[in-house]
Amino acid sequence: MNILVTGGAGYIGSHAVQRLLRDGHTVVAIDDLSLGHREAIDALTDHAGDRLVFEKASVGETTRLETLMGDHDIDTVFHFAAFASVGESVAEPLRYYRNNIAEGIGLLEACNHAGVGRFVFSSSCATYGEPADEHIPIRENCPKNPVSPYGQTKLDFERILEAWAEARRNADEPVAVTMLRYFNVAGCDRTGILGEDHDPETHLIPVALEAALGKRDGMAIFGTDYPTPDGTAVRDYVHVEDLIDAHVRAMEHMQRNGASTPKAYNIGIGNGHSVREVIDSVRRVSSVDFPVRDEPRRSGDPARLYADSNLVTRDLGWKAQITDLDAIVDSAWQWMQRHPNGYEAT
Ligand code: UDP
C-alpha cells in the first residue's frame, strides 16, 4: 500500500515509517521538522531505496499535500503530526488548537481533494481526563472530560473525523477511520536505528535514563501522595513497536472491510506501573543509582491511567507483545547509550 505518514520524522512517526517499509509498503513521510529529526529519515532511507519519499511540509499545506497524495497514489494516511505536551498546551492553547485542529483540517481537505478516505489518527488517553475509580481500567466508553487543551484537541479532532466520515459516507465516497487512543508510549526500535529525542525532554522514562547517564543531576518524582500503593502515579507504558503494530492492523482491517464507521481503540498493555517502579526499572537496567527527589504533583496529572484494551484485541487481534517493563526501558537505554546527545551526534 501507499501510505502518507504525517510527523514522519518524529519519535512515533519514524517508527511507523520503519515498520511500513519493512512490510514492503511505499511511504510518503512529511514533517515540518519543528520537532522531528531529519536524521531519523536519513537513517531509514538507507534501507528503503525509492520506497520512501520525504518532504518537509506541514499538514496544513492542503494544495501541496493533495499533489503529493495524487502523485504517489496514496490510499491511507497515518496522522501523527501534533504538539503533544500537556503543560505547554495549558500555557499556549492557541498554538495547540491551531496546530492540532486547524492544520489537521487542512490535511482532511487534502484527503477530500485527492480522494483518500482511509485514515488512522493518533489520539490519546488524555481525551478521558481524570477518570473516576470505577472507570479504571479505562474502556473506550469511559466519559471524556479532558483536563488540558492538548487532550481537548485530540477529542475535538476525533469529533471532526466522525463528521468528516459521515459526510463522505453520505456522498458515497469511500471512508474508513480508526482512532487509536495511546496510553504512555515508550521504548525504541530494538534494532537501534531510531530513538526518542525531545527537547526539552519531560517524559518519565527518558528523563530517568538521562539521570542514569549523568546528563542530569538526578530527577524529581511529581507527587508522592497519590492514592496508589506506593503513593506515586500509575501509568500504562506501551512499547512504540507494539503501538505501531496496532496502526498496521487497523490499516489492514480497514482495507479488508472497506467503508466503516469510525472506531476508537485504547492502546495500552492493560496494567500500570508507578513512577517509583519505573525508576527502579531504570536503575536495574542501567545499573546506575541516581538521586531522586520528591516534589509536589504536576497539575492535571491523574493518579491512575491504564487501559482496558479488550476491544482492540477482539476487533483487530492486537495485544501488546512487549509487556515487561525492564524490556521496554532497556530498548530506550540501548539507544540512549549510543546516542547520548540524541540525533544530533548521529
Ligand atoms: N513524572 C515524574 N518525573 C518526571 C517526569 C514524569 O514523576 O521527571 C511522572 C508524571 O508526573 C506522571 C508520570 O511520571 O505521573 C508519567 O509522566 P510522563 O510525562 O512520562 O507522561 P504523561 O502521563 O504525563 O503523559
pLDDT tens track for 114-172? 999 999 999 999 999 999 999 999 999 999 999 999 999 999 999 999 999 999 999 99
Among 235, 237, 243, 295, name the best residue to mutate to test ligand 1's pocket (greatest count of ligand atoms within 8 A of Cβ): 235
pLDDT tens track for 248-301? 999 999 999 987 899 999 999 999 999 999 999 999 999 999 999 999 999 888
**Mean per-residue pLDDT for 309-314?**
98
- State how far the Cα of 128 lies from the Cα of 150, in Å rounded to an integer: 12
In the chain, where the domains are located: 2-184+238-267, 204-235+270-306+322-345
- State how far the Cα of 208 lies from the Cα of 40, in Å rounded to an integer: 23
Tell me which CATH code domain 204-235+270-306+322-345 carries.
Answer: 3.90.25.10
- State how far the Cα of 136 lies from the Cα of 222, in Å rounded to an integer: 21
Task: Tell the residue nearest (CA) to atom 18 of ligand 1.
Answer: 203
Question: Any catalytic annotation for residue 150?
Answer: yes
pLDDT tens track for 190-240? 998 999 999 889 999 999 999 999 999 999 999 999 999 999 999 999 999
Say whether pLDDT at 346 is over 60. no
User: Ligand 1: which atom is nearest the Cα of residue 222?
Assistant: 7
Spatial contact of 240 and 186, defined as CB atoms under 8 Å apart:
yes
Say whether pLDDT at 96 is over 70. yes
**Mean per-residue pLDDT for 103-124?**
98
Task: Tell the residue nearest (CA) to atom 19 of ligand 1.
Answer: 203
**Mean per-residue pLDDT for 60-81?**
98
Angle at the Cα of 94 (from 89 to 95), degrees rounded to 5?
Answer: 70
Residue 234, strand partner residues: 274, 304
Which one of 11, 150, 226, 306 is the catalytic residue?
A: 150
Q: Confidence band (pLDDT; 50, 70, 90) for 345? A: low
The half-sphere exposure of 27 on its side-chain side, counting CA atoms within 13 A, is 32
Same fold, 2-184+238-267 and 204-235+270-306+322-345: no
The three grid cell numbers given for residue 273, joined into one nine-digit string:
506501573
Query: How close is the Cα of 270 to the center of ligand 1, in Å?
Result: 18
- Select the CATH number that applies to the domain covering 2-184+238-267 from these four: 3.40.50.300, 3.40.50.720, 3.30.450.40, 3.30.200.20: 3.40.50.720
User: Pocket residues for ligand 1 (CB within 6 Å)?
Assistant: 86, 184, 202-204, 207, 219-222, 233, 235, 275, 298, 301
Query: How close is the Cα of 292 to the center of ligand 1, in Å?
Result: 14
Query: How close is the Cα of 84 to the center of ligand 1, in Å?
Result: 13
Q: Tell me the whole-structure pTM to 2 decimals.
A: 0.97
The half-sphere exposure of 327 on its side-chain side, counting CA atoms within 13 A, is 12
pLDDT at res. 46: 80
Which residues have CB under 8 Å from 300's CB, separation 6+? 86, 87, 90, 130, 147, 148
